[in-house]
Chain A
Amino acid sequence: MTSTRASERSAEGKGACRFLCRKPGRWALLLFGALVIHLTSGAAEEKKPEVLCVVGGDLYTITDGILKGGTILCRDGKIEEIGRGVTVPKDAKVIDAKGKAVMPGMVAARASVGVFSGSDKIAEALDPMSLGLELAAASGITAGYVVSGGPSGDNPLGGTNAALKFTFGALDSMVLREPASLNVRFGPSAPVQSFAFREGLRQAREYLRKQGQYQADQKAGKKVPAPAKPNGADDYIALLTRRLPARLQPRDQNDILAALRLVDDYEIRLILDGGTEAWPLATQIAKRNASVILCPRDKQVANEFVSRPTGSSPQTAALLARAGIPLALVPPSPVFSADWIGSDLQTLTFSAAFAVQGGLPEDAALEAITLGPARILGVADRIGSLQVGKDADFLVLDGSPLDIHTFVETTVINGKVCYEKNKSTFFARVKRRQEGAKEEAATAPGK
């Protein structure tokens, strides 16, 4: 938490400079601000940027393969250096990761974690002290796609969603991006909403066209009235200008096909949240640059009344990835709950392993629980891989990432250790036994 505050302070500092350059008369305010910071910051050494080094681990970088025996140096919550020859500064906090795996914090593309319900804006309903955030850290999930509400009644749009960082106890660092997309209800199963949505897009496009004409006219010196913006057009404009993607939850292939037609007509960006039946449509989805959020453990019975292939397939993830579709894999449930034990968010890696069962290469499976969802959320510049300049969010694991026996030993978010297995009670009672460990090593898959 200290480092989080430090980084915010430095950001504040930069802002203050700009603020002063423009209006030098505000010196008094700055002095007052400096005094407040001084009073709240405590000891002088706390101001030094915090340095954390993770030394000697096998680094699953996601973007550059596996770097064996590498070191990560983090300063001020960011990754500053990665490599084998990194010099560890004297004042650095060191985590020894020799013989362990280090991977970026996982990103859950469906997560109901860390938010109080019933708010129009997620940023105003964050619950930084929720147990879910602690369990997320213990499960190696450091960020997620959180949806609040959704389209209700006849509305095609509604609710909100956000890319959240799961920083326990730190309200200010939680929101990465809100909204990350627009929740849309569309498809043959929702004809009223579908009509309203198409109509909204049509009107907004018409408005944009008139607006363009208006600007051109003004440039040419013509005096013409500005076009009236239709009510509620802002969301549709965000979609048409591709500032935000539409997030749809297709129930079956018909919904997916309808969504793809929509992309053809309006060139919007599309996130298909649910792609159990998407495998026969892989090339068509790829052509529209749509991304897919998929639970490979979901099962759907084939529709016996149509001649085209339907139903779920264990190979869906593999086929979608091979077609080049940005992919995020999720477990069956988006919560941490005793009712969903074995299917809840703690099983995110199991979902990735299931996709491997269906032919997805292991590195692609790992990407689909880290950088893949980060890209879909539009936050890949900050999280999702071990790269210099990215947020220092990563995990130290006691085995390879997709091995079911592997546990998270340490979770680091923003360069700060926020979970240590040996200091937590969550798994204290289910420790691996010595003789069991030996046997597991001998029979581990693919070794």
Chain B
Amino acid sequence: MSTHPLGALCLALSWCCSAPLPAVAEEAVTAFVGARLEPVSGEPIPSGTVLIEGGKITAAGADVQVPAGARRFDATGKVIMPGLVVPWTRLGLSGVPGGKPAANPEVRVADELYPFQDSYRFALQAGCTTLCLVPGGEGISGQAAVCRPRAETGDDMLLSWWGPLVIDFAATTAGKKAVRDALEGAKKLLRDGKAPPGLNESDDALCRALTGEQRTLVRCGGPGELLHALPFFKDYAEMKITYVGPAHFYRVAEELAKVKAAVLVPAALTYAPETTNRVNAVRELQEAGVEVACYPEADSVSAFRDILLQAAHLVRAGLPRDAALKAVTLGAAEALGFDYRLGSLEPGKDANLLVFNGDPLSPTTRLERVVLEGRTVFEERDEGR
């Protein structure tokens, strides 16, 4: 194949894993030097350096000294931003269970992970370095799994044993009862002085959600259901809730702002109901004071590849640039309660970096390198051009 003029191109596009990774000692310091940095947690830095050690970012900024012996990448003219965090997806999972609303807090997506899937490979190639895989089923669906999309085993995919509790909230008697009964039961346990760990798996998960130790993702089918959910969860004030649902959540933006809720909506423009007039739901929620982040509009590889294009589309429609970048990185990490280790170029955070040959929010720009926890997992070379 190497004699073929395009063979090199084919290789360039192939998965880096198939070729042996460059031998780098785990302890070695890696430095990306001279790139424009989009830290998301702060203002862009026109020319800066990112240091990585042990899979973590140890420094990121303009005045960073590269230690002697560091593996040095000249990133002049490149733009580096944190890896994308996908806060709500069922990519690579099988169908959602149907049936009546039920409370299954013990169900863990972590138990159904299958790491060797093309879709995870493509997600990583698209720059998605973290996926929150969610359980399905009306009522209390179970516990989500916050994952790195590349590992040898399902357990190795997990960033932590515990994942956010997921509630698929149905505005029906049965749907509300299933959730309320479970939460009230756990509330009683807490009142009786019991607390995790050491309870059974269901109660552990519920108690951790009730006390706000673990985030809860509440999915609502639309703004109408959301108006049911907001008063429902007033009774559980300590829960840290992120509401997940369609773009039309913007229609109840003021109510969402009142309860200071975090919200996840699809990364896409929408139409105002019954019209073809464009609405930027993300911008409208953000302007109303809602903490809003985005998930891909579909569980497909193409939707994952389009996340940044859609973010650019949102900027085109008036969303500030910094808000758009945050919505697909740090904002999404916050919505999951994982901002302590994901979503920005800050010391101490996981070294998940994307290296672009220009503005990440332009379709003419190429993603050239994806770094997952300090290791380059995707690289597009220039051969064959």
Contacts of A429 in B (CB 8 A): 272, 277-280
Confirm or deny: B269 has a beta carbon within 8 angstroms of a beta carbon on chain A. yes
Confirm or deny: B317 has a beta carbon within 8 angstroms of a beta carbon on chain A. yes
Confirm or deny: B315 has a beta carbon within 8 angstroms of a beta carbon on chain A. yes
Contacts beyond the supplied A338-B276, A429-B277: 13 A-B pairs with Cβ under 8 Å: A297-B302, A299-B301, A309-B7, A341-B270, A350-B363, A404-B316, A425-B275, A426-B276, A427-B278, A430-B283, A432-B316, A444-B359, A445-B358
Cross-chain contact A311 with B13 (CB below 8 angstroms): yes
Contacts of B312 in A (CB 8 A): 404
Contacts of B283 in A (CB 8 A): 430
Q: Which of A309, A336, A343 has the most CB of B within 10 A?
A: A309
Q: Which of A298, A359, A429, A431 has the most CB of B within 10 A?
A: A429
Confirm or deny: B76 has a beta carbon within 8 angstroms of a beta carbon on chain A. no
Q: Can you name 21 A-B residue pairings with CB atoms under 8 Å?
A: A279-B6, A280-B4, A280-B10, A307-B1, A309-B9, A341-B268, A342-B268, A342-B313, A353-B363, A404-B309, A404-B313, A404-B363, A405-B316, A425-B277, A432-B316, A432-B317, A433-B318, A436-B319, A443-B359, A445-B359, A446-B358
Contacts of B365 in A (CB 8 A): 357, 445
Q: Mark A397-434, 1 if CB is under 8 A from B, else 0.
A: 00000111101000000000000000001111111110
Measured CB to CB, the closest approach of chain B to A315, in angstroms, equals: 7
Bound form: Cα–Cα A343–B310 in Å: 9
Cross-chain contact B306 with A343 (CB below 8 angstroms): yes
Confirm or deny: A160 has a beta carbon within 8 angstroms of a beta carbon on chain B. no
> What residues of chain A have their CB less than 8 Å away from a CB belonging to chain B?
131, 135, 279-280, 297-299, 301-302, 307-309, 311, 313-315, 318-319, 332, 336, 338, 341-343, 350, 353-354, 356-359, 402-405, 407, 425-433, 435-436, 439-440, 443-446
> What residues of chain B have their CB less than 8 Å away from a CB belonging to chain A?
1, 4, 6-7, 9-10, 13-14, 118, 122, 268-272, 275-280, 283, 297, 301-302, 305-306, 309-310, 312-313, 315-321, 358-359, 361-366, 384-385
Bound form: Cα–Cα A354–B13 in Å: 16
Bound form: Cα–Cα A395–B278 in Å: 20
Measured CB to CB, the closest approach of chain A to B368, in angstroms, equals: 11
Q: Given A315-B384, A357-B365, A436-B321, verify A309-B4 contact (CB < 8 Å).
A: yes
Bound form: Cα–Cα A342–B1 in Å: 37
Minimal Cβ-Cβ distance residue in B for A403 = B362
Measured CB to CB, the closest approach of chain A to B277, in angstroms, equals: 5
Q: Given A404-B313, A443-B359, verify A430-B278 contact (CB < 8 Å).
A: yes
Cross-chain contact A430 with B317 (CB below 8 angstroms): yes
Minimal Cβ-Cβ distance residue in A for B384 = A315
Measured CB to CB, the closest approach of chain B to A405, in angstroms, equals: 5
Bound form: Cα–Cα A423–B277 in Å: 13
Contact check: which of A299, A444, A446 meets B302 at CB < 8 Å? Answer: A299
Minimal Cβ-Cβ distance residue in B for A427 = B278
Minimal Cβ-Cβ distance residue in B for A407 = B316
Cross-chain contact A315 with B364 (CB below 8 angstroms): no
Cross-chain contact A336 with B1 (CB below 8 angstroms): no
Contacts of A430 in B (CB 8 A): 269, 278-280, 283, 316-318
Bound form: Cα–Cα A350–B9 in Å: 24
Minimal Cβ-Cβ distance residue in A for B36 = A443
The 3 closest A-B pairs by CB, nearest first: A430-B317, A353-B363, A309-B10
Measured CB to CB, the closest approach of chain A to B5, in angstroms, equals: 9
Measured CB to CB, the closest approach of chain B to A215, in angstroms, equals: 48
Cross-chain contact A342 with B309 (CB below 8 angstroms): yes
Q: Given A315-B385, A426-B276, verify A342-B310 contact (CB < 8 Å).
A: yes
Contact check: which of B1, B272, B318 meets A436 at CB < 8 Å? Answer: B318
Bound form: Cα–Cα A430–B306 in Å: 20
Minimal Cβ-Cβ distance residue in A for B126 = A299
Measured CB to CB, the closest approach of chain A to B18, in angstroms, equals: 11
Minimal Cβ-Cβ distance residue in B for A319 = B6
Bound form: Cα–Cα A299–B300 in Å: 11
Contacts of A431 in B (CB 8 A): 318
Contacts of B277 in A (CB 8 A): 425-429
Measured CB to CB, the closest approach of chain B to A362, in angstroms, equals: 8
Bound form: Cα–Cα A414–B13 in Å: 45
Contacts of A428 in B (CB 8 A): 277
Measured CB to CB, the closest approach of chain B to A57, in angstroms, equals: 21
Contacts of A445 in B (CB 8 A): 358-359, 362, 364-365
Contacts of A131 in B (CB 8 A): 276
Measured CB to CB, the closest approach of chain A to B77, in angstroms, equals: 12
Measured CB to CB, the closest approach of chain A to B145, in angstroms, equals: 25
